[in-house]
Amino acid sequence: MTSVKEHLLRNEEDIQRILSIVLSKTTAELYASGDYELSTSEERLLEDLVSKRSKGYPFAYIAKTQGFYEHEFIVSEDVLIPRPETELLIEIVKAKFTDKNNFKVLDMGTGSGIIAISLKSIFKDWSITATDISEKALNIARQNIEKILSSKGIDLYLSDWFNELSHQKYNLIISNPPYIAEGDKHLKDLEYEPISALTSGKDGMDSINNIINNAPKFLEKGGFLLLEHGYDQANAVRDLLEKDFHNIKNYQDLSGNDRATIAQIKIF
């Protein structure tokens, strides 16, 4: 049997955080109970998680939670782990639409629900719809809606992009769609996350293409489309938008990469 103290001295990635999860103790409690000896089942779980982590398994999937904007979200292997870059979308919406009442918003490919839930918790009178093609992802979104919003206020649809939506119109369509090219070399670092949340066709643009082409039918007059995209996709996104949209504006993430584009539907 080994003690907490001995484990804390191990040179393993996230050992302290993993120990906290296994023993359900805060960091302060861990250090205050250095002489505690782990039971056999606690040792087994600890070694299993340490071994997974050493192979690159994301800590968020071990902790089953990840912070995004103002909340902690439940995550599982069924959803993309929320990324800090995506907080840019929330900042853009806050900066542009803060004075809007009763806005109707559609979050496409909601995953764990981070965008829809963050917006609903800021803009309580907005009516928010969220979709995903993955029933398992929607289950996680549902759990987050329950946890963060006490079940109130987001309509969820299982849908391949717009396919299952009735012709309701929205003031804002927002999406962080899959945008990595199939076969991209960075995918080897993302092997534990759902591939359907990451890739979209040979150049990563299939989903973006679909959303831009179909969004006009689902937007109110003067409505907006806001997309997260790859650092090298801003020009391609702009080219696609120019047919039906104007007032196109790019935004950079904290690393200075083009990461999001907003555009307003042209009024004919």
Question: Residue count at the site for ligand SAM (CB under 6 A)?
Answer: 23
Q: How far is the CB of 89 from ligand SAM (least distance, A)?
A: 8
Q: Residue 55 in 3-state DSSP?
A: coil
Q: How far is the CB of 161 from ligand SAM (least distance, A)?
A: 4
**Residues 179-198, interacting with ligand SAM (CB under 6 A):** 196-197
Contact with ligand SAM (CB under 6 A) among 22, 49, 117, 133 = 133
CB under 8 Å to 31, separation ≥6 — which residues?
Answer: 8
Interface with ligand SAM (CB under 6 A), residue from 110, 129, 144, 261: 110
Nearer to ligand SAM, 16 or 121 (CB): 121
Name which of 50 and 197 has its Cβ closer to ligand SAM: 197
Stretch that binds ligand SAM, among 16-24, 49-57, 96-104, 107-115 (CB under 6 A): 107-115
Q: Least separation, in Å, of the C-beta of 131 and ligand SAM? A: 6
> Any contact of residue 111 with ligand SAM (CB under 6 A)?
yes
Q: What is the DSSP letter of 253?
A: -
Instruction: Quote the radius of gyration of the chain (alpha carbons, Å).
Output: 21
Q: Exposed e or buried b for every residue in 21-50, given b needs 16+ CB within 10 A? A: bbbebeeeebeeeeebebeeebeebbeebb
Closest by Cα among 242, 238, 218, 216 to 227: 238
Using rule CB under 6 A, residue 86 touches ligand SAM: yes
What is the closest distance, in whole angstroms, from the C-beta atom of residue 173 to ligand SAM in the complex? 12
Three-point CA angle 239, 243, 244, nearest 5°? 125
Q: Residue 81 gets which letter from DSSP?
A: P
The least distance separating ligand SAM from the CB of residue 15, rounded to whole angstroms, comes to: 28
CB nearer ligand SAM, residue 134 or residue 171:
134
Residue closest to 116 by CA, chosen among 124, 125, 102, 106: 106
With binding defined as CB under 6 A, does residue 160 bind ligand SAM?
Answer: yes
Could you say whether residue 131 binds ligand SAM (CB under 6 A)?
yes
Residue 76 binds ligand SAM, judged by CB under 6 A: no
Phi, psi of 202 (to 5 degrees): -65, -35
**Residue 99: exposure state from Cβ atoms within 10 A (0-12, 13-18, ≥19):** exposed
Phi-psi region of 247 (alpha: psi -120 to 50; beta: other; left: phi over 0): left
- Exactly one of 109, 204, 223, 230 binds ligand SAM (CB under 6 A); that residue is 109
Q: Which is nearer to ligand SAM, 109 or 223 (CB)?
A: 109
CB of 237 to ligand SAM, least distance (A): 15
Structure tokens at 224: 């907006």
In the complex, the residues that contact ligand SAM under the rule CB under 6 A are 79-80, 82, 86, 109-112, 114-115, 131-134, 137, 160-161, 176-178, 196-197, 207
